Chains A and B, each alone.
Chain A
Amino acid sequence: MNDLIKKVTQLLDDKTINVFIGYGQGTASRIRTIFVKNSSQVENLVYTSDCTANLAGYLLKHEVKKIGKLGILANDSALRSMMQLASEFQIKDGEVYVLHAAKDGSFTEFADFQSIEAYLVTIDTGITSDEQERIAKLEAMTVKERWIFWNKEFEKCIKCYACRAACPMCYCHRCTTDVNQPQWIPVASHEQGNLDYHLMRAMHLAGRCVNCGECANACPMDIPLNLLTYQLIAPIRTTFDATAGMKADAVYALSTFKPDDKENFII
């Protein structure tokens, strides 16, 4: 922890960065994101086992970007988000100072994307066994049962778009939802609008989702949104040999192809 404070103080003092994105104490023992702009605020940084949020999403927020050069405390998910964002030309190598927080509480500086890539191949990037079980349970249902399950879930949706705001990959200035000519997605949070919105979002995240779970964490109605995109990770890996957020110069699984891509449903 002292290492973290010392490092961030130094970075801010020598103007390597103008703001550091890290974790701080929120209300009611909750952890929240803080933006440390000078050494007097550095003491607000905390790092505990509760600090699991993927902070990479803030790298693209206009309000944060305009402060100046960014530093970030990145967990594994954040590193993967950054690689995916880099492959989509949203951040450049050397643009962001990256301090990696490992699961054991140690901090490592990553000088460039190459070292992040080298690190990422050494870790387990899969979804948790609990998540796997929940997906398997859904997959074991009939189509009609799944329809009912998701209808019940989507019924709760109030279209607050917290999922979209929390997702590091939802950085579009204008989401399909906001397009009104034509109005692809009905605006109101009725069943149809909710279904359209969530399917659209899942499809747009297919092959890009780094399974950080921020969408589901952010959902005030506890809809297990993450399962929609998590379920696509395995088929995309097995069919296209692609995993999101592993390489800064990766080609997106859905904007490339192999002439012999396998399917069994086209007649």
Chain B
Amino acid sequence: MQEFEPKIVAFVCNWCTYAGADLTGTSRIKYSANVKIIRFPCTGRIDFMILMKAFENGADGIIVSGCHPNDCHYSTGNFHARRRWIVLRNLLNFAGIETDRIQFSWVSAAEGFKWADVVNNTVAAIKEIGPYENYRKIAVSTLFNEEGASNE
């Protein structure tokens, strides 16, 4: 049987984590290819709906990462984001969504090594947990509903 290769999306801010991931590249530090990055100006821009859409479209794991507190390029975006995540994690957990599939982190533009670690550890953790069947199941049944019963 083929090893499970999780799909992981990373939502990162432009100024710290995106630059940190650039440094990982410049330093030629290797990490797993399962993670793909989508760039945002700031973690403050990352709408919780975006995380829901990621799971819905087949992500097994999500990384959300930005500047360390007090380092935000826009001074306070990450503080607002942090509050939002605190509430969101509570809600998702209560709604039965596996919050251990979402890794939140602060990775600065200087932390090329940390970015590689965050990615590799998240990939390893998600491999351990397995594919996000639960969420995918309802997404698939949705697809089925939308495309009609002709497939049967």
**Does a CB–CB distance below 8 Å link A and B in the complex?**
yes
**A→B interface (CB under 8 Å):** 138-139, 143-151, 176, 184, 186, 188, 190-193, 195-196, 198-200, 202-203, 206-207, 228, 231-232, 235-236, 239-240, 253-259, 261, 263, 265-267
Residues of chain A contacted by B145 (CB below 8 angstroms): 188, 190
Q: Which of B85, B118, B138 contacts A263 (CB 8 A)?
A: B85
B146 at interface, CB cutoff 8 A: yes
B76 at interface, CB cutoff 8 A: yes
Looking at chain B's contact residues, is the secondary structure mostly helix, strand, loop, or mixed? helix
B93 at interface, CB cutoff 8 A: yes
* A144-B96, A149-B96 given; A235·B86 CB < 8 A: yes
B53 at interface, CB cutoff 8 A: yes
**B→A interface (CB under 8 Å):** 48-49, 52-53, 56, 69-70, 76, 79-80, 82-99, 103-106, 118, 134, 138-139, 141-142, 145-146
**Smallest Cβ-Cβ distance to A176: which chain B residue:** B49
Residues of chain B contacted by A236 (CB below 8 angstroms): 87
Residues of chain B contacted by A203 (CB below 8 angstroms): 48, 87-88, 91
Q: How far is the CB of B5 from chain A (nearest CB, A)?
A: 23
Q: Which 9 A-B pairs have the closest CB atoms?
A: A147-B96, A146-B96, A192-B142, A257-B79, A191-B138, A266-B104, A190-B145, A267-B105, A206-B87
Q: Which of A188, A198, A232 contacts B146 (CB 8 A)?
A: A188
* A151-B138, A228-B91, A235-B87 given; A266·B96 CB < 8 A: no
Residues of chain A contacted by B48 (CB below 8 angstroms): 203
**Smallest Cβ-Cβ distance to A263: which chain B residue:** B86
* A255-B80, A257-B80, A261-B82 given; A267·B95 CB < 8 A: no
Cβ A232 vs Cβ B87 within 8 A: yes
Cβ B83 vs Cβ A138 within 8 A: no
Residues of chain B contacted by A195 (CB below 8 angstroms): 95, 138
Residues of chain A contacted by B84 (CB below 8 angstroms): 254
